[in-house]
Structure 1
Amino acid sequence: MDLRLFKSQSLDKLKEGFKMVTSKKLFLVLTLFLLATMILGGCAKNSGEPGNPSTPKEEQKTDTQKILLNQIVQLAEQGKIINCEFPVEKTVIDTVEEKWGKPDKVDYVAQAKGSYATYGKHKVVFGFNKGSQIFDVRSFDDNVKQITMSKVKEVLGKPGNTLQYDTEDMLVYQAGENYELLFIFPKATQQEADPKLDHYNVFYPRGTVNLMADDPGISYLQGTAKTKATNRYEVAGIDDAAAFEAIFTTVQGLVKKDDKSQVAQYILYPIHVSIDGKKTKINNETDFVKYYDQIFNEKVKKALIQQDVNKTFVNYQGVMVGDGEIWFTAAPDKGHKYYIYAVNNS
């Protein structure tokens, strides 16, 4: 055989063998690639199937309830509910009527120790005492009605008290030093084991106290009426703390509005004040209104408007506002019972 022919044939066989080996390797690589793609694709598909952690939509719903509950707590510590500017303790019902108009209805509830004004449009109900001071404000806002009982406990922890009634259950939490936060739910059933909120309240217990009637008031945190209410104003001869605080709040509101004739009714005459740098005796409401702007100057008004009644200084002389700009005292024989008897406006 010709040597050149032999070499040519051998070379052709080598090429064919190389092609076969290459094809097998390529086939193997492609096969492995397809298998890997199928496995990864299956994992990605299974990640959204039932049994996996909550979907982003569910997590968003949960977070929304948590955010709302935190907002409710923050406002409650200020005596307020959501979507309402009027705090308990520091507001009288007259102030609400000036801004929102007359309520849809007013009901007296003896068990709650006050009257309740309903504002359906705003989905808010105010409870107020005989001094017109608001001690209870309730929110029926649509947003709160999505909050479940389990979510309240999860976010806020164990309640300070749980009260059970015939048709509803109440979770009670402390809100700051002076207020209570009440969550009212319908009774749990087999169909609804985790009921949704009906409404919630911010409640001011001291606003229900009536020492004149030996009534210690209501505290839902304690579950029943308080055993005995304390009266920080007793040394000043003020025997009804709730009534005094209601009048104090009323006068604050009147001064804020510059309602001169109404403020004049809460002055114990005669009263000595400074007019044009001279000590002047004001004998009646007419004279007081005449010199009102000089008596209740900006310094005096600011001191009263900004004063927290719970942080007033009290001694045998009375209740002091600010640095002594105003003093209140008891006058049992007078109509309002508690009056301003000194104004230091110099």
Structure 2
Amino acid sequence: MFSELKTSSLYRTTAFLLSIGIAILLLILGQSIFIPLAFAAFIAIILAPLCQYLENQGIHRNIAAFLCTLLGGAFVAGIVTFFALQISALAENVDTFEDNLNQMTVNISAYLGEYLGQSELGQLSSFNELFTFLMKDAQSAIGTLLVLVATSLITILFLSVFVVLFLMYRKDIRDFGVYLFEENGSSMRRLLLKIEKVVRNYLVGIFQVILILAVCNSIALWILGVPNALFFGIFSALLNVVPFIGPMVGSIIPAMFTVVINNSALAGVWVILYFTVIQTIESYLITPSIVGNKVRINPMFTLLAIFIGNLIWGIPGMILFIPLTAVLKQIFDEVSGLRPYASLLGELDRKKFIDEVQEVTTSSSGS
């Protein structure tokens, strides 16, 4: 059977694998550029309909792009302001939190001093002392944190500039793709529109999932008596954007806060139990129903995309590689030679596949 395999097929497969390897190498080497570019491109795709609407109202394209980016920035600033206000509201529980945490620290440090033989730990009597003990060499960490904050601000500025540029030149970028493959211009235009649609649908679907989780989390945490339930509910929902790690952190933080404030381990167990249930429902019902139908990626390759994204780009890769995989699937689905890879990634465009098979069958019978 293998002897009958065409040499051209082997060459094509080898070339494809080699291209994938080179692409991965470029993504690793250029991650400081490609990560903000990818985020900017996805944000621009989300804002493109609004930008087009403003242009249809007679507003100049450059001004419309700037206004849309400003609106997106205002939305993000609103979220940041909300969290800042909620964090300030946490100050109402600071005294209770500190007293309970100091008592817990005394108990834990005494346990560690007795069973682990650390006499210095056993002598600690407050959270402040424990914090000082653990942060003796924290000056270097603080310097690293300041560098990280400065780098983040530069990245945000870089991201905003490219969102504006993508919105301003979105039609030129689309035309470039069409002219580059002029002999298949109509197919290329259709492919670019499909890519925009699938990315936009995916991001909108993620926003819907976050909204549903925020409402459910806030109500459930309020019922369970968690202080600042709205803050922790929305915070946990937003962390759900980061697969696996996000939901874990989003459940542990409110659970620990509840344990300290209520001075009850049982309260924390109820919080963890709720998040376990809601994350199970989200993973097997909410996200597949809302997001899965929009990207049509095989769950196995969705998981693989998350792991590869983490390997190449870290946490940003875990967020970006699912829509990027959906984009690859659209490209493979449009190129007949790459159709098997599209079938491997997820559901094929069955109508187009059947039409092409009928076309080949008709041409073969005619000859």
Name the TM tier (shorter chain).
under 0.3
Question: What TM-score do you get using the length of structure 2 for normalisation?
Answer: 0.24
User: More relative contact order in 1 or in 2 (CA 8 Å, sep 6+)?
Assistant: 2
Q: Which has the larger radius of gyration?
A: 1
- Name the structure with the higher strand share: 1
Question: What TM-score do you get using the length of structure 1 for normalisation?
Answer: 0.25
- Name the structure with the higher helix share: 2
